């Protein structure tokens, strides 16, 4: 799924795997969670059995990440080097001169080849989730989600790749710029419709007000404290418990589809004070405009990214034209090469992405602590213990290496978040809170 096309990839990052949730996207353990204890939560700690599991999972995850990246690059290299792309191009050209009809043959062949080759690794990842109790999703349901995701990726990638090759053909010097602004418009449109059209394909949503009106009442105190009202019908409950055991909430959508989503697992496994803190964190993303900031940052990053892609693709085309049977850069055969270059660029730029995301998440943590201050009896403890619960359920490793955090973590490590929540107290020091005065 990662190697779709530059802009489908951006879609997937932004939409299918919302990064603005309170949790890291690692699923959870079916564990009993201790209720808030009288002793304050000063640090993130795990009992020995969970620590052993979290440690094993951390090391396994690190290995799988590297294997996954190398393997996906090797797949693209093989497709180019073994003449598979050239053969698919020849088949596509048999349908006639119409480029869109050719795309309808070439892109699905290419994408399905990649997906089939990546299937064993993806299935292994899911089996790990099941084995560690992070996921409770059966294989049938998992496979169905995979197929639905594949269908969406195929539709997006077919249009994107058709458009890209057309632009390269029409505007050999400026295609990167045109592809950039068109992609950006599509990303905004996609984010606007995804909560309504795409997300319900994977999970069930219902108005939070319907099942948890008291919680919505409590939440309204929080939104009033923040001086901003999020309409009740913009708050949704997601039935995550059918698939995972961890807790989370997120903000998604754009314009009329902008909304806050709380997983039902959060309400089941966290106290009301902790749920309010989680909501406060998500509200931080909402009122601090993190979606718009994220889209803007992506657009800026892609502007440079597509320009670099343009320069590198010129070089790579000249270098590998004969070996990979490419007739010109707009040839279908060059598509996997463009994907390969873009993938390498994504790996290299990952730390920028992660660092940016960690900063936004930290800001949302600050906001969540501030907006629940005076509503939760002990807002710092609700935050700190909320993170403790989250970490236990997700089997978050307490002591990740700084390099791994720098490169991959889109949220601050859970130990840092617990400590920060426990210590953040501008009020007793007579300092001004950062966001909620």
Q: Where are the alpha helices (DSSP H) in 134-289?
A: 139-170, 175-197, 208-211, 213-225, 264-269, 272-287
Rounded-to-10 torsion of CA 415, 418, 423, 428? 170
Q: Smallest distance from the beta carbon of 348 to Zn ion, in angstroms?
A: 25
Is the CB of 361 or the CB of 370 nearer to Zn ion? 361
Strand order in the sheet with 259-263: 205-207, 235-238, 259-263, 249-252
Computed on alpha carbons and rounded to an integer, the radius of gyration of the chain in Å comes to 23
259-263 and 249-252 strand pairing: antiparallel
Structure tokens at 200: 């319900």
Q: Smallest distance from the beta carbon of 360 to Zn ion, in angstroms?
A: 7
Q: Smallest distance from the beta carbon of 20 to Zn ion, in angstroms?
A: 5
- Measured CA to CA, the distance from residue 276 to residue 367 in angstroms comes to 12
Is the CB of 287 or the CB of 364 nearer to Zn ion? 364
Burial of 60 (0-12, 13-18, 19+ CB in 10 A): middle
HSE value, Cβ hemisphere, 13 Å, CA-based, for 231: 6
Q: Smallest distance from the beta carbon of 290 to Zn ion, in angstroms?
A: 8
Is the CB of 20 or the CB of 353 nearer to Zn ion? 20
Q: Smallest distance from the beta carbon of 71 to Zn ion, in angstroms?
A: 30
Q: Smallest distance from the beta carbon of 364 to Zn ion, in angstroms?
A: 5
Q: Which residues contact Zn ion (rule: CB under 5 A)? A: 20, 22, 361, 364
Is the CB of 80 or the CB of 247 nearer to Zn ion? 247
Structure tokens at 164: 């890209």
SS3 of residue 220 by DSSP? helix
Is the CB of 133 or the CB of 284 nearer to Zn ion? 284
Is the CB of 195 or the CB of 305 nearer to Zn ion? 195
């Amino acid at each position: 799924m990662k190697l779709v096309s530059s802009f489908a990839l951006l879609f997937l990052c932004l939409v299918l795997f919302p990064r603005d949730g309170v949790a890291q996207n690692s699923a959870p353990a079916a564990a009993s969670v201790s209720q808030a204890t009288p002793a304050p939560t000063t640090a993130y700690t795990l009992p020995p059995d969970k620590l052993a599991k979290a440690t094993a999972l951390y090391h396994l995850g690190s290995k799988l990440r590297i294997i996954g990246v190398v393997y996906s690059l090797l797949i693209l290299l093989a497709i180019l080097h073994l003449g598979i792309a050239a053969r698919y191009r020849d088949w596509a050209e048999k349908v006639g001169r119409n480029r869109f009809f050719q795309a309808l043959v070439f892109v699905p062949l290419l994408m399905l080849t990649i997906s089939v080759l990546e299937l064993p690794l993806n299935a292994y990842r899911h089996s790990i989730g099941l084995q560690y109790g992070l996921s409770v999703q059966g294989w049938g349901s998992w496979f169905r989600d995979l197929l639905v995701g594949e269908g969406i990726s195929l539709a997006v990638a077919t249009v994107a790749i058709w458009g890209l090759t057309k632009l390269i053909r029409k505007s050999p010097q400026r295609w990167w710029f045109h592809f950039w602004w068109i992609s950006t418009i599509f990303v905004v449109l996609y984010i606007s419709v995804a909560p309504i059209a795409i997300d319900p394909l994977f999970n069930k949503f219902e108005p939070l007000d319907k099942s948890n009106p008291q919680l919505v009442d409590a939440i309204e105190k929080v939104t009033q404290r923040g001086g901003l009202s999020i309409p009740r019908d913009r708050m949704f409950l997601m039935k995550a418990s059918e698939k995972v055991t961890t807790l989370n909430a997120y903000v998604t959508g754009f314009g009329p589809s902008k909304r806050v989503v709380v997983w039902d697992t959060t309400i089941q496994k966290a106290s009301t004070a902790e749920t309010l803190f989680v909501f406060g964190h998500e509200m931080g993303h909402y009122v601090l405009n993190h979606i718009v900031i994220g889209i803007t940052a992506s657009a800026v990053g892609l502007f440079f990214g597509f320009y670099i892609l343009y320069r590198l693709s010129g070089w790579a085309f000249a270098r590998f034209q004969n070996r990979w049977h490419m007739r010109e850069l707009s040839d279908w055969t060059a598509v996997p090469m463009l994907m390969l270059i873009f993938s390498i660029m994504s790996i290299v730029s990952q730390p920028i992405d992660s660092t940016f995301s960690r900063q936004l998440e930290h800001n949302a943590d600050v906001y969540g602590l501030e907006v629940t201050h005076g509503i939760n009896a002990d807002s710092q403890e609700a935050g700190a213990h909320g993170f403790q619960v989250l970490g236990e359920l997700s089997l978050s490793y307490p002591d990740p290496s700084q390099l791994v955090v720098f490169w991959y973590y889109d949220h601050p490590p859970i130990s840092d978040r617990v400590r920060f929540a426990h210590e953040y107290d501008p009020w007793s020091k007579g300092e001004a809170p950062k966001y909620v005065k």
